[in-house]
Amino acid sequence: MRRFVGAVLPLVALVLLSGCAFVAQEATLRPTLQVGVTDLGHGAVVAVRVVDERPDKALGHRGTAYGKAATITTSQDVAAVVREQIVAGLTRKGFATAAFEPGAVRTLKVEIRFLEYSTSTGFWTGGVHTKATLKAIAANGGREFENIYRADNEERVVIVPTAERNEELLNAALSKVLDQLFQDRELLTFLAR
């Protein structure tokens, strides 16, 4: 009897945990920046605009051994979340920021191309994939600079991740791609001229 309970108990726990995959999730985006404080911008004013260009406004789907399950969404304005981080990062780099207006001398438009969560199935484990892509389009005195930043992560899991873990993975991808933007010395130097 003990052997039966010992064998069945983990199976029951696995089934209960995988049930979470069928419950829709509303994620909260809280990216964090790893941007050091410098005076690179020397107070230059940058007009900032962020546009959500994602083809699907859902963040993705939770998964099961059979494929896609419940949708992961957010009630937040993703462009506003990213803009807040862009403004904070530029401030740490010594720039001043302003609302985007046509004709501004220095502008930074950031397009959110992807922020997605997906799953894949394997023989013993499943895959959880998170991706984030941003495109920066900067203008300064009639000149332009463009670059694309990508973050891609895959994690192998045995049990369907919790809503909290899904949120952590999404925030990690968004944080990583924002950090890449602020590590682009060429972009920052272009804006500082």
pLDDT tens-place string over residues 35-73? 999 999 999 999 999 999 999 999 998 765 455 568 999
The arithmetic mean of pLDDT across residues 150-156, rounded, is 90
Residue with tokens 């862009």: 86
Window from 126-135, 144-153, 155-164, 184-193 with minimum mean pLDDT: 155-164
Q: Maximum distance among all alpha carbons in the chain?
A: 79
CATH number for the domain whose boundaries are 2-192: 3.30.160.150
187: three-class secondary structure by DSSP: helix
Residue 14 tokens read as 């696995």
Contact 110, 134 (CB under 8 A): yes
Q: Which one, of 90, 85, 80, 110, lies nearest residue 33 by Cα?
A: 85
